Structure 1
């Protein structure tokens, strides 16, 4: 997280962000997030550079951490417990809570043209569609949370060879902007296990937008309820797909690891 409030452009280049993310020669991270001035009436703007230098539209875990970071920056001057943050995926509203940060992640986008993917016509949904990857047919469901996700349900998520299969999903030609890929094991209707290969970052301990997309896919395939705990290697997230307003709400922790000056 970088305090970038004094400039409308990130103070690092994508190439510099790659070096910072290197876990051997840099700080070590899945990506660098910049807290920029707000635009169009928002409180702040979020920009992200992945560990490979690419720029994603959104990061669910990242915006949750950004809210906690902004709260620390504002300190006693903070006058409210939520922020309206401009992202490339639209305006996202995280709310500070006693047990973490709750984020209104907005509406899931389900049409193939919105994701985007060529697995179906642009105005059709991609639910439980077959996809050939790594010499195997996978049944996949595609969801956009402002960024693309391909979700597949498996018997044992721990048995998936992410390092070999993940890149083949990410760069499959049916995803013109590449894709994040979530492998989901259904433990019960309110508890799912998830492992993720993130577009531009590879294997990560958690993916907030991926957890949201996975719950949506679970509901669309009648495998889970509209509220469930998603267990990720980095810890659990509570995800709700509201029946009232159809928006996705994500709740999880955000902890400061260390601070430094650049």
Structure 2
């Protein structure tokens, strides 16, 4: 598929979706949101892990405030429901692991789209910014859900109210992201992380995602029942049989994702 605002390429089981409007710091317009959703949904056909990153010096500056500039009144509620929510669901519900490789500033909706990924890896020079109150808005694109769960209510409230920049190192220390790495090592590092997942037990990864996301709304009994069902499915997989055989034979497993 030919894209106007993003690029997508897959090799060795790794799909890389690159936000590609570097002249505006990859700000999100309607076309980009639709193209991102299409690429995320199609990625499992060509890849076993999906990486989302940005072209140029930034990851994503958030909503393009010039998008639909001719409208008398921008209907943000409709935009969120019709365009952002399907994109966020596609990322969260993807059957393959998703990595946000945050190469630079991630602001507003751009930050929260990154945080919707399963794993966030950031360059040390990257920053995260809940910029919404600077223009009289509240965090959206899932931010009011994700932030308190990742970093606790006190830090989430401060980040939302003050709209201060959060460095990648702070984000790592606060549990907001998985890790940050030196700029010089950033690309090689996320590629190695992606390769690890691309060669792993894809079916188990999908069930890890399902179980952990469900735990936020389940009580203990419901979560234990879900664990048992999902573990039973894993136990019937080719990857489980291969993993056990590799362990007993003292060799590296050759997972196929089945």
TM-score when normalising by structure 1: 0.25
Normalized per residue, the structure richer in helix is: 2
Normalized per residue, the structure richer in strand is: 1
Highest CA radius of gyration, 1 or 2?
Answer: 2
